[in-house]
């Protein structure tokens, strides 16, 4: 057989294994997050939000998919790989915007960007690509006391 056939078959097998592992990882992460944030606490949830970065993390961050959820008191994000969490109290959010890019990264779609006060008295920002962007923007603006 031609070596190209083996290469293609191996690539397809690897892709299938990766899809399986990511689905399993997402299912596990969602179960953990939903146990901590039951349905009656969650206002909005996006199970595959794409984080474009946190400004304080610098320019070398990579985008990462994860679970973004909004409660009456906080915005919470759990990245799948690597496992990282970001918790932003709504009271610390100072603005909500919808830029086309964040920290030099873009996919040609508007993003959910929040500016917020961090734990050390400074400011920071983060941005995600989410479905139902306008619903996220309106709900956060309605829930947060923007300063």
CA atoms within 13 A on the CB side of 135: 9
Q: What is the pLDDT of residues 54-97, one digit of tens each?
A: 998 888 888 889 999 999 999 999 998 888 999 999 999 999 99
Tokens 């794409």 belong to 50
Report whether 28 contacts 66 (CB < 8 A): no
Distances 28 to 34, 80, 111 between C-alpha atoms, Å? 10, 10, 26
Q: Stretch 37-53: mean pLDDT, rounded?
A: 93
How confident is the prediction for the chain on average, in pLDDT?
A: 90
- Give the pLDDT band (50/70/90) at residue 1: low
| Long-range CB contacts (within 8 A, 24+) of 103-111 | 103/52, 103/53, 103/55, 103/59, 103/61, 103/127, 104/59, 105/52, 105/53, 105/63, 107/50, 111/52
Q: What is the pLDDT of residues 123-147, one digit of tens each?
A: 999 999 999 999 999 999 988 776 5
pLDDT at 67 (0 to 100):
95
Going from N- to C-terminal start, the domains of the chain cover 39-143
Nearest to 34 by CA among 81, 65, 67: 67
pLDDT at 23 (0 to 100):
81
The fraction of the chain above a pLDDT of 90, given in percent, is 56
pTM of the model: 0.83
Q: Stretch 37-48: mean pLDDT, rounded?
A: 92
The fraction of the chain above a pLDDT of 70, given in percent, is 97
CATH code: domain 39-143 is 2.30.29.30
Q: Stretch 13-40: mean pLDDT, rounded?
A: 86
């Amino acid at each position: 057989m031609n070596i190209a056939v083996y290469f293609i078959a191996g690539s397809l097998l690897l892709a299938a294994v990766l899809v399986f592992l990511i689905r399993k990882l997402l299912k596990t992460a969602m179960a953990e997050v939903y146990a901590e944030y039951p349905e009656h606490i969650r206002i909005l949830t996006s199970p595959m939000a794409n984080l474009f970065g946190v400004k304080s993390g610098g320019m070398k961050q990579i985008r990462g998919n994860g679970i973004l959820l909004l409660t009456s008191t906080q915005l919470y994000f759990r990245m799948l790989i690597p496992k990282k969490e970001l918790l932003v109290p709504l009271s610390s959010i100072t603005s909500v915007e919808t830029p086309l890019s964040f920290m030099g990264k873009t996919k040609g779609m508007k993003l959910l960007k929040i500016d917020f006060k961090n734990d050390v008295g400074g400011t920071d920002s983060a941005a995600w690509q989410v479905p139902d962007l306008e619903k996220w923007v309106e709900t956060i603006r309605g829930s947060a006391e923007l300063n």
